[in-house]
Amino acid sequence: LIRPPGHHASPDGCWGFCFFNNIAIAVARLRREGKVATALILDFDLHYGDGTANIFENTTAVTYFYPKASDRRQFVDTIAEVLSNAEADIIAVSAGFDRHELDWGDMLATEDYERIGKLVKEFSQKSCQGRRFGVLEGGYNHDVLGLNVRAFLNGMA
């Protein structure tokens, strides 16, 4: 996982601490090199990744998924439902941890990030020959950021 975040960066603009759209660059390169034909990008950051959505808006081979929900159970269930019905050659995750209950989003618990990681792993094993990766987006409470990242990575491992 790398910083700074990138999901707000577009080809001709940047904002929100995002200068390079790391996830979009990686997915575009994998597609250009013929390593994957299709990709699913899951963005669970508190803020909508407008840069990523804009970059791939005219590309049917790349699906950008930003879950919306009013509570933590519905949020994780929405991810589970979409992943159970999706297909792709790789899953890329814009992993933002600012939805945590002790961060700006005040919604998800640390164990929810591990569950999301497990859902990503299961999807990748079912649909993508295990191909999966994540890039770090938001997360501003440094007291819990490391715990949340570790929980997500434990789920993906």
103-135 b/e with 16+ CB inside 10 Å = b?
Answer: bebebbebebbbbbbbbbbebbeebbeebbbbb
Identify the pLDDT of residue 11.
87
For the record, the structure tokens of 95 come out as 């992993």
Q: Is the CB of residue 73 less than 8 Å from the CB of residue 123? A: no
pLDDT, tens digit, for every residue of 56-114? 999 999 999 999 999 999 999 999 999 999 999 999 999 999 999 999 999 999 999 99
- Report the alpha-carbon distance of residue 15 to residue 76 in Å, rounded: 28
Mean pLDDT of the region 119-146: 96
- Reduce the DSSP state of residue 140 to 3 states and report it: coil
Closest CA to 30 of 122, 133, 156, 140: 133
- Report the alpha-carbon distance of residue 157 to residue 151 in Å, rounded: 10
